């Protein structure tokens, strides 16, 4: 009756798609509707207003495009840049690599700044490039806020500081796919020009909406950007925004209702409480990894990610085997190591709609699997370390009855 079934719940700890809150699943449990009726535009209007809050922007213009993060990337690039434009882009893991691949295929002149996987973006090199770029040939800086493959969070405030320091007019484009709604992100304060995320990440919805938010400067740039675009063209949206019907083509009714509910839940918990929850769970996870005697793929504390932890395994162990057994035996979904770190890391996603005991169940499962593949873990050690921290840091949850 179902495609795969095991007793109990699936423990979903990949860094996306993530667990959907039950009220959101309920809100999406519905038939289609006419998106040209008065109801859908009225709801869309509230969504466009409210979605800005998760970017911490009041001046940005959001686009909720029926696509994935990859499409959101393409929308960010093609609406603001022209073929041949020079962009500085940081390669620090699989997802920044894929974005750079896209940038190259879209015919931009990509100035790649590479780091060892496990390290953050080399912002000192950015400083040098900006300092040298008197002619302002650099049209945009492209950076992932959080590299999902290695669990590395970049410091966006520093990027803005450098741009300001060198009075450089380059656009500041940020992939916030695994950060927005989970990590501290401040579009206006940091002067980000385009930020984007996908519905299936910290927003905790199904895949299907790529949300792109453009600063006034980015909107201005879109008027002269020569990249060919139709489906991803902001201008088609802006035309319908003016008409008050909002949609150039058919949106998913279910995802609109889901997004409405997801935002309501985030605001009920409080966006900053949501971010604090991610910090608690990220810290607890890292303490467990330490207790197991394993290394975090992320090499320095300043880059630690509160949404995903990539765990390095000893050389004689294949991390893919851990992921495989976790799924088969405990209905636990962990993230694989990708590309350069394939076989070397497994990833625990702790973003989106998740709470303490769910994470602790996952950590207990990881311990059993580690033991099962021959790593001499002390059972209970990671859970104990995580519990010790969590127990002293009471979760902030919405007030109840």
Cβ-based nearer residue to a copy of itself, 159 or 354: 354
SS3 state at 32: coil
Site for a copy of itself in 1-40 (CB under 8 A): 1-12, 14, 16-23, 25-39
Measured from the Cβ of residue 190, the count of other Cβ atoms closer than 10 Å reads: 21
Least Å distance, CB 290 to a copy of itself, is 14
Distances (CA, A) of 61 to 58, 159, 179, 271: 8, 22, 19, 19
**DSSP label of 337:** P
SS3 state at 195: strand
Check residue 234 for interaction with a copy of itself (CB under 8 A): no
- Please report which helix (H) or strand (E) contains residue 62, including its range: strand 61-65
State which of residues 194, 259, 274, 311 lies at the interface with a copy of itself (CB under 8 A). 274
Check residue 358 for interaction with a copy of itself (CB under 8 A): yes
148 near 177, Cβ under 8 Å? Answer: yes
Cβ-based nearer residue to a copy of itself, 250 or 339: 250
Q: Give the span between the Cα atoms of 12 and 9, in whole angstroms.
A: 9
Site for a copy of itself in 192-211 (CB under 8 A): 198, 200, 206-208
Cis-peptide, bond into residue 17, ω within 30° of zero: yes
Site for a copy of itself in 87-126 (CB under 8 A): 101-102, 105-107
State which of residues 332, 341, 348, 351 lies at the interface with a copy of itself (CB under 8 A). 332
Check residue 374 for interaction with a copy of itself (CB under 8 A): no
Please enumerate, as own/partner, the contacts of 156-163 that have beta carbons within 8 Å and a separation of 24 or more: 156/185, 156/190, 156/192, 157/186, 157/190, 158/123, 159/123, 159/126, 159/190, 160/190, 160/191, 160/192, 162/123, 162/126, 162/127, 162/130, 163/130, 163/191
Check residue 339 for interaction with a copy of itself (CB under 8 A): no
SS3 state at 95: helix
State which of residues 253, 259, 313, 345 lies at the interface with a copy of itself (CB under 8 A). 253
Only segment of 85-93, 126-134, 154-162, 264-272 that touches a copy of itself (CB under 8 A): 264-272
Least Å distance, CB 161 to a copy of itself, is 31
Please work out the total of residues on this chain that contact a copy of itself, with binding judged by CB under 8 A. Answer: 123
Check residue 129 for interaction with a copy of itself (CB under 8 A): no
Site for a copy of itself in 50-69 (CB under 8 A): 66-69
Least Å distance, CB 349 to a copy of itself, is 9
What value, to the nearest 5°, has the Cα angle with vertex 253 and ends 247 and 254? 145
Least Å distance, CB 142 to a copy of itself, is 14
Check residue 353 for interaction with a copy of itself (CB under 8 A): yes
Cβ-based nearer residue to a copy of itself, 20 or 192: 20
Cβ-based nearer residue to a copy of itself, 39 or 157: 39
- β-pairing, 332-334 vs 11-13, is parallel
């Amino acid at each position: 009756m179902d495609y795969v079934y095991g007793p109990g719940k699936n423990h979903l700890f990949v860094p996306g798609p993530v667990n959907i809150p039950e009220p959101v699943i309920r809100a999406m449990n519905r038939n289609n509707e006419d998106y040209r009726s008065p109801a859908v535009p009225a709801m869309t209007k509230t969504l466009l207003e409210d979605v800005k809050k998760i970017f911490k922007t009041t001046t940005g213009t959001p686009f909720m495009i029926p696509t994935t993060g990859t499409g959101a990337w393409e929308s960010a690039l093609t609406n603001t840049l022209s073929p041949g434009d020079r962009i500085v882009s940081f390669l620090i893991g699989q997802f920044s690599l894929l974005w750079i691949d896209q940038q190259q295929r879209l015919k931009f002149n990509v100035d790649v700044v590479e780091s060892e996987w496990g390290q953050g973006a080399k912002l000192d090199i950015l400083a040098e490039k900006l300092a040298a770029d008197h002619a302002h040939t650099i049209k945009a800086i492209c950076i992932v806020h959080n590299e999902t493959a290695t669990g590395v969070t970049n410091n966006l405030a520093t990027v803005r500081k450098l741009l300001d320091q060198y009075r450089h007019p380059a656009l500041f484009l940020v992939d916030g796919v695994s950060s927005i709604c989970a990590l501290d992100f401040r579009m206006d304060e940091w002067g980000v020009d385009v930020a984007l995320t996908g519905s299936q990440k910290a927003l905790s919805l199904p895949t299907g909406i790529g949300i792109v938010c453009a600063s006034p400067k980015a909107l201005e740039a879109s008027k002269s950007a020569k990249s060919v675009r139709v489906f991803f063209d902001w201008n088609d949206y802006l035309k319908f925004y003016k008409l008050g019907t909002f949609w150039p083509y058919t949106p998913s009714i279910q995802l609109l209702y889901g997004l409405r509910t997801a935002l309501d839940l985030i605001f009920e918990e409080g966006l900053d409480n949501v971010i604090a929850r991610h910090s608690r769970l990220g810290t607890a996870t890292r303490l467990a990894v330490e207790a197991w005697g394993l290394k975090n793929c992320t090499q320095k504390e300043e880059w630690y990610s509160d949404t995903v932890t990539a765990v390095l395994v000893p050389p004689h162990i294949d991390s893919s085997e851990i992921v495989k057994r976790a799924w088969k035996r405990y209905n636990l979904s962990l993230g694989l190591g990708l590309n350069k770190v394939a076989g070397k890391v497994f990833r625990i996603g702790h973003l989106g709609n998740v709470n303490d005991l769910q994470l602790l169940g996952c950590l207990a499962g990881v311990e059993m699997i580690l033991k099962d593949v021959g790593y001499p873990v002390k059972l209970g050690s990671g859970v104990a370390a995580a519990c010790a921290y969590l127990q002293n840091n009471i979760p902030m949850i919405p007030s109840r009855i």
